[in-house]
Chain A
Amino acid sequence: MYRIQIDRSLCSGFGACADLAPEVIELDASGNATVRVGVTDDPAVLDAAAACPMAAITVIEEEAEAA
C-alpha cells in the first residue's frame, strides 16, 4: 500500500499528477492537487510523485495492515 501526502503550499498547479494517477489525485477549482484517497495500492502514484516539478507529493510504501 502507498500512503500519499501532498504539500499544498508547494503545489504550483502543474497538474501532471492528476493525469497520471486520476484515481488518487485530482485538481481543485484553482488547479491545485488534492488527494482523493490517502492510501492506495495503485502504483501510478509513484509516477505522479515523480512527475511533480515541485516535489510536493510524498509517497510512502507501507505494509498492508489488517482491517
Chain B
Amino acid sequence: MNGRSVLIVGAGLAGARCAETLRAEGFDGDLVLVGEEPVAPYERPALSKEFLAGAKDADDLLLRPGSFWAEQRIELVLGQRVDSVDRTRRTVTTSSGLELGWDTLVLATGARPRQLPFASPAGVHVLRTLADAEALRDELLPGARLAIVGGGFVGAEVASTARSLGVDVTLLEAGSAPFERALGPELGARLARRYRDHGVDIRTETAAAGFRETSAGRVDAVVLTDGTVIESDVVLVAVGVAPAHELGRGTEPPIYTCGDNAGSHGHWTGAAAEAVETARGLLGLDPLPRQPPFFWSDQFGLRLQLVGDTTQADEVEVEGSQDSFVARYRATGGKLVAALASNRPADVGKLRLEVATAA
C-alpha cells in the first residue's frame, strides 16, 4: 500500500467495514472516514423496519458505540460531501471547501435511490438515508393513504411497517408479482397473497406515469400508465438504487473502490464483504474464502433469508407451510444455486453450506 494515510470517502457500511478491518488487521497509519450524512455509521436496513415503526431511534442504529471510533483511532469527518478528487496532489475537496490529503484513497460512496423521470411534489419520498426515513416516518399517520412505487424489498418492508401503523397501502409493481425477478413467479405469488391478506392493495403490471398535486404543491394522487388514479397522501418511490460514482472508480493503487458504488447491487452483505476484501488487499493479505451472497428481509411476519444467486435458477422446489418454508433454487442439471428460508432461521446455516458446497 502507498504511504501512511488512508482516506475513505463514504461512511456507510462499506466505508466503516473497510476502516475497521484495516485497523483490526494491523494498519497503524492515519485513517479518516468522510461521510456526507451528519451521523456516524449506522445500520441502514433498520430504516424501513424498526426505525420507521418507531421501535428504534437513531442512537439504536449506530453500528458501533460512540467511543469506538476514537478508540480505534479512526477519524470521522461527518456532514461533508466530497465533490472532487485531485489525483496529482492527492487531496479531496468537500462541498464546504475542506481539503483533505491522502496517500491511499478508498471510494465507498455507495448508491442513491433511482428517481422517476418526472418532477416530485412535496409528499413524495425516497428511502435511503436516516433523514429520508425521518421525513417518511413523520407522514405515516394512522389513516393516511400511502402509495408505494416499486414492489422490491424496500417497498415491501415499508408496506409491512406502514400497515402495522394503521396506514392504507397501495403497492405498484411493474411485473406480474412482487419479487418476481428476485425470487421467481411462484414465490412472488405466495408473497403477494400474504400482502393482500394483510390489507395491501397490490396493482401489478403497471407503472406511475405522473403525480397529481394540490394547488399548494403537495401530492394527492399517483396517475398510472393506464390512466388509473390512486389517491394518495404520501408516496414512496422505491425503484432501486444507482451507484454513486461521480468521483470515478479506482481499481489500482493508490485509489480503490468498494461497496454499492462498485456494483454490489445494494445488497447489504455484498458491500460488507467487498469492503473487507478491499482492506485486506491494501494490506497485502490473502482474500478470505468467498461466502455466498446473503440477503434477508422482515415483512408481514416473515423473516426471509436468501443465500446464493437466484438469477441462475431454472426451477424452484418449496417444502413446508405457507409461512414457514424452504425454497431451493436449482439451475439446469439440478445444481443448487440459492435457497430461501422463510421463518426457518435455524436452517440458514445448513442451507448456506449446501449452496457453498454446490458452487
Enumerate chain A interface residues (CB-CB to B < 8 A). Answer: 9-10, 12-16, 18-19, 27, 29-32, 46-47, 49-55, 58-59, 61
Contacts and interface: CB of A to CB of B under 8 A. Distances in A.
Given A14-B269, A32-B345, 6 more contacts: A13-B296, A31-B346, A46-B24, A53-B291, A54-B268, A55-B63
Given A46-B24, A50-B288, A13 B345 contact: yes
The size bracket of the interface on B is 20 to 34
A54 B46 CA distance: 12
A51 B293 CA distance: 11
Nearest to B305: A13
11 contacts: A10-B63, A13-B296, A13-B305, A13-B349, A14-B352, A27-B349, A31-B347, A46-B25, A50-B280, A50-B288, A54-B269
A51 B25 CA distance: 14
B346 A29 contact: yes
B21 interface: yes
B305 A50 contact: no
A64 B106 CA distance: 34
Given A15-B352, A47-B288, A53 B347 contact: no
Contact of B348 (A10, A15, A47, A55): A15
Given A19-B353, A51-B291, A13 B17 contact: no
Nearest to A46: B24
